[in-house]
Amino acid sequence: MRLDEIHLRDPYVWTEQGEGCYYLYGTTGTTAWDGKAAGFDAYRSKDLVEWEGPFPVFRPAADFWADRHFWAPEVHRYRGRYYMFASFKAEDRHRATQILTADHPLGPFVPHGDGPATPRDWECLDGTLFLDDDGAPWIVFCHEWTQIRDGEICAMRLTPELDGTLGEPVTLFKSSDAYWPVEAEGKGNFVTDGPFLVRADDGALLMMWSSHAKEGYAIGMARSLSGGILGPWEQEPELLFEKDGGHGMLFRTLEGQLLLSMHKPNLHPQERPVFFPVLLRDGKLQMGDEKGI
């Protein structure tokens, strides 16, 4: 199948160099908002055009703590294993990022650690893995606007085994710190979604993140003035993408080309994965061909 036939939000691509292929993960479109979630699936491709699947990569056991809103899975390779960071929700539990692990990109992924990695009394989502200059792992995640109104991007140290946290969460910035987010679902509500970190060509630490802007869902950029995860963070003056698409991540093709993956449009059930060439140049992330591939 082709990308426009795959109904996913928050598309995340893992390039598996050893196999010469790509794995695509995301929020299953049909159960993104309503109904009991079955788990997560993946799709596989040799050329980013034709995809095979879906392959089941996570199916929750009967005693798994969440049953709905299985969102935004990311897969990272760390110390020889694969780790999935994904958001989950239950009626009587706060939304949270749970870490799962497997020995292959197709899983099966199983829960890792003692429950969610984000604070248990916070509404959180979209956790991502970041390794600092010493190789120490962090989880960077959103403290959701549904609980605090002005959504935040936060960071917290993880144990070297990724099975727990160290210390307290640190707020990196709020949605309203940027000029471009507009209020969503009520006055004073500002969204933060989908943080993703990247080193620029000059060594600068950049963060992509999404919210609602004047032309719809959008991707903005922030820059760490210290070059480290704790910032301080300064919001870039220009949006990376502003035309009703977002929750982006970056990956390199087997040939080394840098691509932006996101869903577009943000309107359910029309959202589909799309890929755009991007450039890391002069310390900035810039869109390439906006027609996509």
The whole-angstrom separation of Cα 183 and Cα 35 is: 27
For residues 181 and 211, the answer to whether their CB atoms sit within 8 Å is yes
Q: Please write down the HEC assignment for all residues of 113-149.
A: CCCCCCCCCCCEEEEEEEECCCCCEEEEEEECHHHHC
Confidence (pLDDT) at 130? 98
Confidence (pLDDT) at 93? 96
User: pLDDT tens for residues 262-284?
Assistant: 999 999 999 999 999 999 999 99
E strand or H helix at 27:
strand 21-28
For residues 25 and 263, the answer to whether their CB atoms sit within 8 Å is no
| Percent over 90 (pLDDT), the chain | 94
The whole-angstrom separation of Cα 272 and Cα 251 is: 17
Confidence (pLDDT) at 122? 98
Confidence (pLDDT) at 291? 64
In terms of residues, how long is the chain? 293
For residues 88 and 69, the answer to whether their CB atoms sit within 8 Å is yes
Mean confidence (pLDDT) of the chain:
96
* Banded pLDDT at 34 (limits 50, 70, 90): confident
The whole-angstrom separation of Cα 26 and Cα 72 is: 5
The phi and psi torsions of 38 (rounded to 5 degrees) equal -80, -30
> Does the structure show a pLDDT above 90 at 258?
yes
Measured at the CA of 268, the angle between CA 264 and CA 270, to 5 degrees, comes to 55
| Percent over 70 (pLDDT), the chain | 98
> Does the structure show a pLDDT above 70 at 238?
yes
**Displacement of CA 7 from its chain's centroid (Å):** 17
Q: Is the dihedral of CA 89, 83, 151, 121 positive or negative?
A: positive
E strand or H helix at 194:
strand 193-199
User: pLDDT tens for residues 88-140?
Assistant: 999 999 999 999 999 999 999 999 999 999 999 999 999 999 999 999 999 99
Q: Which CATH class is domain 3-287?
A: mainly beta
Asked if the peptide bond before residue 54 counts as cis, ω within 30 degrees of 0, the response is yes
First to last CA, the chain: 15
Could you tell me which of 231, 277, 280 has the C-alpha nearest to residue 130?
231
> Does the structure show a pLDDT above 80 at 292?
no
**Displacement of CA 183 from its chain's centroid (Å):** 22
Mean pLDDT, residues 25-36: 91
The whole-angstrom separation of Cα 259 and Cα 105 is: 20
Confidence (pLDDT) at 142? 98
**Least confident stretch, 7-16, 243-252, 284-293:** 284-293
Confidence (pLDDT) at 185? 86
The whole-angstrom separation of Cα 88 and Cα 66 is: 6
* Banded pLDDT at 288 (limits 50, 70, 90): confident
For residues 94 and 48, the answer to whether their CB atoms sit within 8 Å is no
> Does the structure show a pLDDT above 90 at 228?
yes
User: pLDDT tens for residues 51-101?
Assistant: 999 999 999 999 999 999 999 999 999 999 999 999 999 999 999 999 999
